[in-house]
A and B are shown apart, each in its own frame.
Chain A
Amino acid sequence: MKVVIVDYGMGNIRSIVSTLNYLNVHDVTVSDSLQAFESADRIILPGVGNFGKAISQIRAKKLDDYLQTVVIDQKKPLLGICLGMQLLGLSSSEHGYNTGLAYVNGVVTKFENNAVKVPHVGFNQIKVNTNSKLFEGITDGADFYFTHSYRMHSEDDINQSLCNYQDDFVAGFEVDNICGVQFHPELSQFNGLRLLKNFIDNF
């Protein structure tokens, strides 16, 4: 089992690697090369920070083309985490309008400051989609760790699990080989370990 974490210079990669190691996945590479992506069994798109900056770095490094090849053409399983999930959507309004990789119909907007405390930080419960391989065995109402100011909504059925904060937003989705989670499984104790194990075992 070889996992490649997409390196575009943003994201706390260390805790993802250490969590995968704990799950006995030791062949973990952080890379921005097509060759590495093509050798991978699983690909993880991490991300912390600003959407606009992230997508421009991804495009500058031609990672959008590489991901198109391995994820869309070759159907390798992909998991986007936090900002990495948002980047798989259509667009984000973070610091101006930016388009994403557009693998799923998802639109990212900011929480409204007068409605709830922003950022949304801490463990929150998930309405688990039982039709999802990614969430297999995870009980409804399970807690996962979130830290973000922007969130995704989708008008399509992208097989989503939802979280409620101000309103229901996409906490996780799964369309064929492409998955994303808004929360950090690597920072979510047993629940996160199970989710990452599902990504390794079920796809």
Chain B
Amino acid sequence: MLRKRIIFALIYSDGNFMQSRNFRLQKVGNLHWLEKNYKFQNIAFALDELIVLNASKGEKNMPEFASTVSKLVNDVFIPISAGGGIRKMEDADLLFKSGADKIVLNSLLVENPDMVKEIIKNYGSQSVVACIDCKLRDDNYEIFIKDGSLKIDYELKEYVAYLELLGVGEIYLNSIDKDGTGFGYDQSLIETVNRITSLPLIIAGGAGNESHLAHGLKIENVSAVATANLFNFIGNGLPNARNLIIASNENIANWNVSNYNG
């Protein structure tokens, strides 16, 4: 049976990893810190996928970001998606060369759809994840690009249809309102998109503990749950969450360590 996925999203900014709350960033530590405090390779064995997002404000340093991605890939045997600031084919090429299995697009989807099509032509639909950053205002979901700073005119439903036509492979649906709060996912946002898309749907924004992840996994047609909450899942947080979720018979992959004995 196709399993559902637990994804960790690392938020990166100018050489450091960040805790984001409603898209305001707080520095947590650099790659060295991450390796030291998170024993990242161990944590990766509790994850189905890793997403690394470059949320640096202003001009993003793509080579520096790509170099960080290439270091994260070592001894991590899961798919890695990377994105943030991809504007041209060379950016996509560089991230794929640095070990990204997929790229995450956001602003480019609106600003240069032809380039998106070109990337899909070269790397295939399954290599492109479309990130949608949403904010609820007056019972209406508004969509933002440019790290949450610029509202676009699309209606949510219309935008999802537009992305499907573009040919992206997955949707990463993020709630700016819930981002980093640890209050749980935005249920009504998820339902709105879930009803209308036939693409694999990754939900993000708000998960603060394993019961939020478990709850998200139970939503029909949701393909994956993501969290970017470094604080709440520190240390053994993620491995413990995965074990609890497996124990509750949720449909997620169970890697049999005995299949591999070094």
Contact = CB atoms under 8 A, between A and B. Distances in A.
A66 interface: no
Contacts of B200: 117, 119, 121-122
A190 B126 contact: no
A113 B169 CA distance: 12
Contact of B2 (A12, A22, A50, A122): A122
A15 B78 CA distance: 9
Interface stretch (B117-125, B143-151, B229-237): B117-125
A15 B260 contact: no
B100 A138 contact: no
B123 A49 contact: yes
Contact of A12 (B1, B101, B259): B101
A171 B105 CA distance: 29
Interface in B190-211: 198-200
B169 A121 contact: yes
B246 to A, nearest CB: 11
A117 B78 contact: no
A145 interface: yes
A14 B99 contact: yes
Interface string A47-58: 011100100000
Given A14-B98, A117-B199, A124 B1 contact: yes
| Residue of B45, B100, B200 with highest tally of chain A CB at under 10 A | B200
Contacts of B80: 15
A14 B77 contact: no
Contacts of A109: none
Contacts of A186: 77
A29 to B, nearest CB: 17
A39 B100 CA distance: 29
Interface stretch (A99-107, A154-162, A191-199): A191-199
Contact of B97 (A14, A117, A121, A192): A14
A121 B253 CA distance: 13
Contacts of B169: 119, 121, 147, 149
Interface size class of B (residues with CB under 8 A): 35 or more
Nearest to B80: A15
Contacts of B188: none
Interface string A90-134: 000000000000000000000001000111111111000000000
A165 interface: yes
B156 interface: no
Contacts of A7: none
Contacts of B139: none
B75 A22 contact: yes
B5 interface: yes
Nearest to A95: B121
Contacts of B74: 18
Interface in B98-119: 98-102
A148 B126 contact: yes
Contacts of A119: 125-126, 169-170, 200
24 contacts: A12-B99, A14-B73, A15-B80, A18-B73, A18-B75, A49-B124, A49-B127, A113-B198, A117-B198, A117-B200, A117-B221, A120-B2, A121-B169, A122-B5, A122-B223, A123-B252, A143-B3, A143-B255, A145-B48, A145-B79, A147-B127, A189-B253, A190-B255, A191-B255
Q: Which 6 A-B pairs give the minimum distances between C-beta atoms?
A: A123-B253, A143-B253, A190-B260, A14-B99, A119-B126, A194-B260
Interface of B: 1-5, 45, 48, 70, 73-75, 77-80, 96-102, 121-127, 169-170, 198-200, 221, 223-224, 252-257, 259-260
Interface of A: 12, 14-15, 18-19, 22, 48-50, 53, 113, 117-125, 137-139, 142-143, 145, 147-149, 164-165, 184, 186-194, 197
